[in-house]
């Protein structure tokens, strides 16, 4: 099927997994916010690494190690260009978004959080942008504050100025909500925080795959995302940090590679980015992520954004026509996910019936339990989209939801 901007039918052929049937039905994969499928380019890059130059990095003088090191560092440069970082050493490879946030909560928290200080988050954060801050606040005697949302699932920006007070040491917030699909006004948030000299951490786990993210244009102090949500492998992620912050903060984990010299009396830490990459890194993961980014660059993030926007509008329109369906999250500016409930039916039951029809959606709290508590619901049914989804996928989802409604009501 051809949308106005992308030839989705052609692009889908790059994703072998999408070709299969599930429960005897054509697979309709709408769980992309949890993890995306991988194009052949990524699978081939992983295979080539393991078949041709698998070796440890930064250590060997032998040819294979040099090749692996070159590919690993080229991946860093590719990621840096993708998010427009000023320096490639501002890109730290992590295990994913969660690890990136833990790295900053541990280092920044221990260095700057004092008793009585606070960290600000929002009501729509994923557990990974709540719990690490709770842990460090508890340890340091600090408070975790929350910017609330309205009934549509949009941040109450009018409450932000008062929350950005002189006790607030950092504002950590998501770019796009994984549960509601809300796209936050990140430029405005960062301008307000910086107006009060408060640094920000942007959770871009649900943003980088849907829109162009430029860390310099945003003026983000820290930004994190996961490889597996942007068509790359699991186990690899990115922490971007401004050079001046990463130079000031202490290392987090200790071990090989993050050192210049070690004696029993004293260790001299390595320079950026190695200071934050203790131990053997996920070499193949970085190479796979880089292949995913090159693949996405070939399509163009602008075209992806436009195509997905069109598809989401189509899905909203079609789902609205289903009697008894209520959307959870009604922001105008949205990307990725659509959450809904059906006639008071438990989301798990809807999800199970959809699975029987070959339709993969997510049901539950989506690692945002406090957000579900605000809406006073146990969870939602979430359909989340990638550029390889088509109008046909949406039509099958809508037919599936109608069938589930009939059977369960």
Active site residues: 367
Token couple for 299:
């399509």
Q: One symbol per residue from 339 to 378: x for binding ligand PLP (CB under 6 A), - otherwise; what is it?
A: ----------------------------x-----------
Nearer to ligand PLP, 128 or 363 (CB): 128
Give the range of 71-79, 124-132, 133-141, 252-260 binding ligand PLP by CB under 6 A. Answer: 124-132
Interacting residues of 60 by C-beta distance below 8 A, sequence separation 6+: 66
For residue 80, give the nearest of 226, 240, 193 by alpha carbon: 240
Nearer to ligand PLP, 53 or 133 (CB): 133
Is residue 380 part of the contact set for ligand PLP (CB under 6 A)? no
Candidates 36, 37, 98, 384; binder of ligand PLP (CB under 6 A) is: 98
Is residue 3 part of the contact set for ligand PLP (CB under 6 A)? no
Q: Shortest gap between Cβ of 241 and ligand PLP (angstroms)?
A: 17
Q: One symbol per residue from 167 to 206: x for binding ligand PLP (CB under 6 A), - otherwise; what is it?
A: -------x---x------------------------x-xx
Q: Please give the residues from 250 up to 279 whose contact with ligand PLP meets the rule CB under 6 A.
A: none
Give 53's DSSP letter. Answer: I
Is residue 226 part of the contact set for ligand PLP (CB under 6 A)? yes
Helix count and strand count (H, E) for the chain = 14, 17
Nearer to ligand PLP, 208 or 353 (CB): 208
For residue 219, give the nearest of 204, 241, 235, 237 by alpha carbon: 241
Q: For residues 206-223, b (16+ Cβ closer than 10 Å) or e, as one string?
A: bbbbbbebebeebebbbb
Is residue 334 part of the contact set for ligand PLP (CB under 6 A)? no
268: β partners: 261
Is residue 97 part of the contact set for ligand PLP (CB under 6 A)? yes
Q: Shortest gap between Cβ of 236 and ligand PLP (angstroms)?
A: 10
Nearer to ligand PLP, 192 or 226 (CB): 226
Give the range of 122-130, 149-157, 184-192, 306-314 binding ligand PLP by CB under 6 A. Answer: 122-130
Give the range of 5-13, 121-129, 163-171, 250-258 binding ligand PLP by CB under 6 A. Answer: 121-129
Q: Shortest gap between Cβ of 129 and ligand PLP (angstroms)?
A: 6
Prior bond of 34 cis (ω within 30°): no
Nearer to ligand PLP, 203 or 277 (CB): 203
Q: Shortest gap between Cβ of 97 and ligand PLP (angstroms)?
A: 4
Q: Shortest gap between Cβ of 360 and ligand PLP (angstroms)?
A: 15
Is residue 96 part of the contact set for ligand PLP (CB under 6 A)? yes
Is residue 288 part of the contact set for ligand PLP (CB under 6 A)? no
For residue 230, give the nearest of 78, 101, 56 by alpha carbon: 78
Contact assessment for residue 308 and residue 300, using Cβ atoms and an 8 Å cutoff: no
Q: How many CB atoms lie within 10 A of CB 74?
A: 14
Give 377's DSSP letter. Answer: -
Q: Please give the residues from 20 up to 59 whose contact with ligand PLP meets the rule CB under 6 A.
A: 33
Token couple for 308:
């997905």
CA atoms within 13 A on the CB side of 210: 29
What is the sign, positive or negative, of the torsion defined by CA atoms of 61, 63, 66, 68?
Answer: negative
Pure H helices in 283-390 = 283-299, 301-320, 347-356, 369-375
Q: How many residues bind ligand PLP (CB under 6 A)?
A: 14
Contact assessment for residue 367 and residue 128, using Cβ atoms and an 8 Å cutoff: yes
Is residue 153 part of the contact set for ligand PLP (CB under 6 A)? no
Give the range of 125-133, 161-169, 303-311, 370-378 binding ligand PLP by CB under 6 A. Answer: 125-133
Angle formed at CA 328 by CA 331 and CA 398, multiple of 5 degrees: 100
Q: Which residue has the tokens 């080539």?
A: 48
Q: For residues 282-298, b (16+ Cβ closer than 10 Å) or e, as one string?
A: bbbbbbbbbbbbebbee
Q: Shortest gap between Cβ of 96 and ligand PLP (angstroms)?
A: 3
- Return residues touching ligand PLP (CB under 6 A): 33, 96-98, 126, 128-129, 174, 178, 203, 205-206, 226, 367
């Amino acid at each position: 099927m051809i949308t106005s901007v992308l030839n989705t039918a052609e692009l889908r052929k790059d994703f072998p997994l999408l070709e299969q049937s599930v429960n005897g039905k054509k697979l309709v994969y709408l769980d992309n916010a949890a993890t995306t499928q991988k194009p052949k380019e990524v699978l081939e890059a992983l295979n080539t690494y393991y078949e041709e130059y698998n070796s440890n990095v930064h250590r060997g003088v032998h040819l294979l190690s040099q090749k692996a090191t070159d590919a690993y560092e080229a991946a860093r440069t590719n990621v840096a260009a993708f998010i427009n970082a000023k320096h490639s050493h501002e890109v730290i490879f992590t295990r994913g978004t969660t690890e990136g946030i833990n790295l900053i909560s541990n280092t920044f928290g221990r260095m700057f959080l004092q008793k009585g200080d606070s960290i600000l988050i929002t009501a729509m954060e994923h557990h990974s942008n709540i719990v690490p801050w709770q842990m460090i606040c508890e340890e340091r005697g600090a408070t975790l504050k929350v910017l609330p949302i309205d009934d549509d699932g949009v941040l109450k920006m009018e409450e932000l100025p008062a929350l950005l007070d002189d006790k607030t040491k950092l504002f950590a917030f998501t770019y796009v909500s994984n549960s509601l699909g809300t796209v936050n006004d990140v430029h405005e948030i960062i301008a307000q925080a910086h107006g009060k000299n408060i640094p920000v951490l942007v959770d871009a786990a649900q943003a980088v795959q849907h829109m162009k993210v430029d860390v310099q244009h945003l003026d983000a102090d820290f930004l994190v995302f996961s490889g597996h949500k942007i068509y790359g492998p699991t186990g690899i992620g990115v922490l971007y940090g401004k050079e001046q912050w990463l130079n000031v903060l202490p290392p987090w984990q200790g071990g090989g590679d993050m050192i210049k010299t070690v004696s029993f009396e004293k260790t001299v830490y390595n320079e950026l980015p190695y200071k934050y990459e203790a131990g053997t890194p996920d070499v193949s993961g970085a190479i796979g992520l880089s292949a995913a980014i090159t693949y996405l660059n070939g399509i163009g993030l602008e075209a992806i954004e436009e195509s997905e926007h069109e598809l989401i509008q189509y899905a909203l329109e079609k789902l609205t026509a289903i009697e008894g369906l209520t959307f959870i999250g009604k922001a105008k500016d949205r990307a990725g996910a659509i959450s809904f409930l059906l006639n008071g039916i438990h989301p798990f039951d809807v999800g199970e019936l959809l699975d029987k029809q070959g339709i993969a959606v997510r049901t539950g709290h989506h690692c945002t339990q406090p957000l579900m508590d605000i809406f006073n619901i146990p969870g939602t049914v979430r359909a989340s989209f990638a550029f390889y989804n088509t109008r046909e996928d949406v039509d099958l989802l809508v037919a599936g939801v109608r069938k589930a409604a009939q059977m369960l009501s």
